[in-house]
Structure 1
Amino acid sequence: MDKHEQLQLIKEDFLNCQKLLLAIGDENRQAILMVLMETTCQTGLRVGEITEQVHLSRPAVSHHLKILRDAGIILMREEGAKNFYYINMSGKFALLKNLVLHIEDLMQEFYSGNDE
């Protein structure tokens, strides 16, 4: 693959990752993700449980959870009137991984002197 094709692939990767990058770029959302990753609860956590650990208001946590859900990073499971949030293991992180791998491939060729 020539440099132009690699750059086009990276450009597409960036477009595919925009929502993900915006979602994980916020410190509060990073804190929420860390709480969800640290939990031993397999069923997910409720907003109140997350709120206690990140020290944000309940409306703020709900707002951040919506952004994370819209980006496909977390999922929500309803159980009656209760909502449980958890990391989407089959989600969008593969897109981010592809972006990083494509950039690494391009940089490796650049530094090895195979720049076309």
Structure 2
Amino acid sequence: MANYQKSEAALAESAQLIGIFAEKIRRQIIIALGNSGDGLNVTDITALVNISRPAVSHHLRLMREAGVIAMRSNGVEHIYYLTLTEPLKLLQTTFTTLATDFDATTPKS
């Protein structure tokens, strides 16, 4: 029998991260940072995603809290860059848990 409590816990743990990837602007920021090589500052990101600076800052804060990006200081400017290794491991674990639980319940034809 499948352990649905384990699936629920895995989904709950990944919910914030799934929300990060679900939002279009944050996906655009992820792509921009991935293409940047060495990271981008808020001004660069604002120009690329075409939203206000405060809106970009809001999205960057959420992404930092979820562990998808990090920031380093370069004098007075902040440079943002991707940190996807741990978030992707968490998602992989979540999806493996779901596959294990729900593949076991799929009727065989």
**Is TM > 0.5 for Structure 1 vs Structure 2?**
yes
Partner of 1:20: 17
Partner of 2:79: 84
TM-score normalized with structure 1 length: 0.83
1:34 paired with 2:31, answer yes
Partner of 1:10: 7
TM-score normalized with structure 2 length: 0.87
- The two structures, once aligned, show a CA RMSD in angstroms of 1.6
Describe the SS at the equivalent of 2:85.
coil
- Alignment check: 8 A CA contact 2:67 2:84 kept: no
AA matched with 2:93: N
C-alpha distance after superposition, 1:19-66 (max 9, x if no partner): 212222211111111111222x2x311111111111111111111101
AA matched with 2:63: L
Q: How far apart are the structure 2 equivalents of 1:67 and 1:94?
A: 19
Q: How does 1:1-116 map to 2 (within 5 A)?
A: 2-3=1-2, 5=3, 7-39=4-36, 41=37, 43-111=38-106, 113=108
Deviation of the 1:75 alpha carbon: 0.5
Deviation of the 1:112 alpha carbon: 5.5
Q: How far apart are the structure 1 equivalents of 2:94 and 2:68?
A: 16
C-alpha distance after superposition, 1:42-93 (max 9, x if no partner): x311111111111111111111101101111111111221111111133322
Q: Percent identity among equivalent residues?
A: 29
AA matched with 2:60: L
Q: Unaligned regions of 5+ residues in structure 1, if any? A: none
